[in-house]
Amino acid sequence: METNKVLSALCYFSIFFAGFLFPLIVYFVSDNPHVKKDAKSAFLSHLLPVVAVPLVFAGLVMDMGVFASGAGLPVFTVIMIGLAILLSVVVVIWNVYKGIKVLL
């Protein structure tokens, strides 16, 4: 198997073991343009769940009145947490798909 393909696939699979650090290192170290493209794509996709964190905090801010009054379920917060979890699952599935696709 070609080393560049393995390196590109590892950039995607690094969501399990090195987060966005491995694709960032590969992007700056590699000379191959295809590996750089895959490393950049993997890095950006690994950052997507990090972007979801402010959404959860926005849900908490929107539901402050519900928390303060004790008047029920903080619906917006629950929705934002659900969306953040869904986004994280989709990103993991997408990275596994892209990693396998690069290897084949």
Query: Does residue 1 carry a pLDDT above 60?
Result: no
CA distance 79 to 94: 22
Q: What is the pTM of this model?
A: 0.79
Other CB atoms within a 10 A radius of the CB of residue 59 amount to 20
- Distance (Å, rounded) from C-alpha 74 to C-alpha 62? 9
Is the per-residue pLDDT at 96 higher than 90? yes
Cβ within 8 Å of residue 49, ≥6 positions away: 84, 87, 88, 91
- Chain mean pLDDT for the chain: 84
Task: Look at 48 and 71; give whichever has higher pLDDT.
Answer: 48
Confidence of residue 77 (pLDDT cuts 50, 70, 90): confident
Residue 42 phi, psi (nearest 5): -65, -40
